[in-house]
Structure 1
Amino acid sequence: MRVGLVVYGDLDTRSGGYVYDRQLVDHLRELGDEVELFSLPERRYGRAFAQNVDRSFRRRLRAADLDVLLEDELCHPSLLWTNRRLDFDAPVVALVHHLRSAERHAPWKNGFYRRVERQYLRGVDGYVYNSETTRSTVAALAEPSPGVVAYPAGDRFGGALSPETVRERARTPTLRVVTLGNVTPRKGIHTLVEGLERTRGDWTLTVVGDDAADSAYTAFLRQRIKRLGVAGSVSFTGRLADDDVADVLARSHVLAMPSTYEGFGIAYLEGMAFGLPAVATTAGGAAELVTDRVNGLLVEPDDPSAVTDALAPLCRNRERLVRLSLAALDRYRSHPTWRETAETVQGFLRSLA
């Protein structure tokens, strides 16, 4: 099967949904499919609409002789009218990580985003969803079938830590918290820092991710950290290679990401491979993975006090930390691997092609 995938930019320099895209490409190829990438330049939302008039891009798609075309839904403003003008027989499938209109924006903006996404979603032939929550958000705008839920996996760093290693690590006096992902307002790192500052007990926070993704927010965040007097406890690593990310996760105790919205939250699952209970958002699909007070803790977005309530007991009670950590390991082991996710997607694409 010849599969095309439309994305913004370079798969090798991204995180979040691009981890999903990259893993899917690699595993579809391992399963015997040919996958061709079609990269579009990433532009501001309004300017992206101009890409719909690019005839050369449509010619490239038609010349590829594809059996099915996958499109990362993030690219929807660039593809809104392109899809209507493609004029080829291959089905077009939207790969939906989460809708822009599901995020927090001004009401007028979200109204605009909903109209655009509704038009895009109604112009494709099928959907791959990263969670049941994402399927539900699409259903509010368009008929959600044919479609398949193919959950992200957490095994890109290899196998899980042993329970013995997790128990030994919990003896470290300072609670080591890590957050993983691009440094943007949606990830709620400012909320995490404020919640930690109110925590009585020794802690450190390591922020792993591209801190140049939103330079204004990063500057605001650094100022907030300085004003709170916790600069000595917070470190920014910037982007790291996978091996280095794995090293940070292996040394940490908890992965905290109180985002304003997550379609699923790959980072939560990747942390669970290292026995890290997740402090996760109630907004979005994280609850499909994180069971509150079992393998992690669910907190409301923009609520530093909830973050404090979640993390403060783990500073004091290491038996509770171990219990949550071992449950996180169990949850990771019960979850599909990236290969199994790719097999689910492959079966669905073949049913359409």
Structure 2
Amino acid sequence: MTIRTLGLTQGKFQDPLAASGLNQNVFSALARRTNLVEVLDISLSGWRRWWNASIHWSPDRDRWRERFDLNVWSFTQLSRMAGRELSQRDGSFEVVLQLKTLYSPGYPVGSWPYAILVDNTYTLSDRHYPPWAPMKPTERDRWLKLERATYHGASAVFARTQWVRQSLLQDYGLSPDRAVWVGTGCNFNPHTLPKKKDLDDGRTILFVGKEIQRKGLPTMLKAFKVVHQQMPEARLVFVGRDLAVQQSGVEVQGKVTDRSHLRRLYEQASLFVLPARFEPCGNVVTEAMGYRLPCIVTTAGGIAELVIDRETGYVIPPDRPDILADCILDLLSNPKKRQQMGEAGARRVTEELNWDRVVERMLPYLLQKPPGMGHPG
């Protein structure tokens, strides 16, 4: 018998840009294996959105964005909203799958069986990248209580990386049978890509990321200065923000919303680099691997699990432009190695890092009985 599922997320399910394509691809894969009744967008709107923005305003736009999403008032409002929506549909579904833990599926939690897919926890952000943990101690403690109760009320918490699974076990006290590694996927169908890479010019490095500091652009620019001195023909293509970068060989594409244009940039690149200072999972990495690009990433988070060091690319320490430059030069000067690593990455995406495999790992746990009625307090 096919399980009747219902999805909870933020952003429109069919929007290919929402959550970098995560919403569309996760729930499309879920629909192929279950009877997906509906996907609900649990987002603040109207006066609630205005109020949340106004009471958490900050002159620092990035901090304002984090405060907008991460606060107890928003968590409670979204949880109640989710509860109302689920009450109206009670009986039409057997289990809820929620993406992320910015709210709980009801308030208090526990009225419906549910599972959550996560790539990060507040504790990990607080420990490794404080800009993503903007709360003061009193509110942080209230948030952690809510977050913990939401995890403990779930039938299963699906971890996209072993890195976040360890946090669920050690920081939140989940039992190993309910903190379940399921892996992650690529936010497009890798089977639609060309079977071989013909456009590699042997000199183009691609960097994709909007958050300049967190994604490691300063490290990338320092490393590229060394690369460009030794290989004047090398070029760095930056996608993410409109920045005035005055550095030879750097081409700023800015924000790219046209997927066909982004596809061309992937196809024309020789390698992909994301020297992040903190990256829980990194959807762009699996995309780059799908395009047969060798990838250079860091050990700063779950991103390190996506790339197999010296097989599909390199995994290096963060904030080390010297090591990054050496790895880039090694790949740009070795076409055969680039091709081998790129092909290995594409196979990894096709065979392992795809959402159908993720949902396949979820299925045995979706109807697992919850341990009891959680209560955020």
Give TM-score, length-normalised by structure 2. Answer: 0.75
1:152 corresponds in structure 2 to 184
* SS across alignment from 1:320: helix
Q: Is the 8 A contact 1:130 1:151 kept in 2?
A: yes
C-alpha distance after superposition, 1:125-155 (max 9, x if no partner)? 2201111111012222213341322222226
- 1:62 aligned residue: 87
1:40 maps to 2:43 = yes
* Alpha-carbon distance between aligned partners in 2 of 1:331 and 1:235, rounded to the nearest angstrom: 30
Q: 2:97·2:115 contact (CA, 8 Å) conserved in 1?
A: yes
Residues 1:95 and 2:127 are matched in the alignment: no
Q: What is the match of residue 214 of structure 1? A: none
Matched, 1:193 2:221: yes
Amino acid at match of 1:67: E
The 5 Å alignment of 1:255-334 reads 255-334=272-351
Corresponding residue number in structure 2 for 1:71: 98
SS of 1:351 mapped into structure 2: coil
Query: CA offsets per residue over residues 239-279 of structure 1, 9 Å max, x none?
Result: 33333322221111111111122223232222122210111
Instruction: Give the Cα–Cα distance (whole angstroms) in 1 for the partners of residues 107 and 187 of structure 2.
Output: 37
Q: Equivalents in 2 of 1:265, 1:107: separation in Å?
A: 15
Counterpart residue type for residue 154 of structure 1: C
| Bigger Cα displacement from structure 2, 29-38 vs 114-123 | 114-123
Aligned residues: 328
Name the residue aligned to 1:120: 147
| Matches of 1:344 and 1:316, distance apart in 2 | 40
Q: Is the 8 A contact 2:311 2:341 kept in 1?
A: yes
Alpha-carbon distance, 1:348 to partner:
2.2
| 1:245 alignment partner in structure 2 | 262
Residue from 85, 90, 98 that aligns with 2:108: 85
Distance 1:27 1:249, change over 3 A: same
Q: Deviations over 1:93-132 (max 9, x none)?
A: 2221112432311799588487423541333322011111
CA RMSD of aligned residues (A): 3.1
5+ unaligned residues in a row in structure 2: which ranges? 54-64, 371-377
Q: Distance in 1 between matches of 2:38 and 2:301?
A: 30
The whole-number CA distance in structure 1 between the counterparts of 2:20 and 2:183 is: 14
Q: Quick one: which of 168, 175, 180 aligns to 2:208? A: 180
- 1:331-342 equivalences under 5 Å are 331-342=348-359
How far residue 86 of structure 1 moved from its aligned partner, in angstroms, is: 4.8
What is the one-letter code of the residue matched to 1:241?
D
User: In the alignment, is the contact (CA less than 8 A) between 1:122 and 1:142 conserved in 2?
Assistant: no
Pair 1:317–1:144, CA change in 2 (3 A): same
- Give 2:186's aligned amino acid: G
SS at match of 1:75: coil
3-state SS of paired residue (2:352): coil
Aligned to 2:169: 139
Per-residue CA shift, 1:277-328, capped at 9, x if unaligned?
1111111223323122221011222222222111122233323323322332
Distance in 1 separating the partners of 2:9 and 2:350: 30
Native 8 Å contact 1:252 1:276 kept in 2: yes
Q: Give the stretch that moved more between structures: 138-147 or 245-254.
A: 138-147
Q: 1:205 aligns with which of 218, 236, 248?
A: 236
- The verdict on how the C-alpha distance between 1:183 and 1:197 changes in structure 2, with shifts beyond 3 A counting, is same
**Secondary structure, aligned partner of 2:72:** helix
- My pick for the range that moved more, 232-241 or 44-53, is 44-53
Tell me the percent identity: 18
Q: Distance in 2 between matches of 1:108 and 1:271?
A: 28
Q: Hey, what's the Cα distance between the residues in 2 that align with 1:317 and 1:158? A: 25
Tell me which amino acid in the other structure corresponds to 1:71.
Q
Deviates more, 1:248-257 or 1:110-119: 110-119
- SS of alignment partner, residue 8 of structure 2: strand
Separation of aligned partners in 1, 2:357 and 2:27 = 13
Provide the residue aligned with 2:73 in structure 1: 50
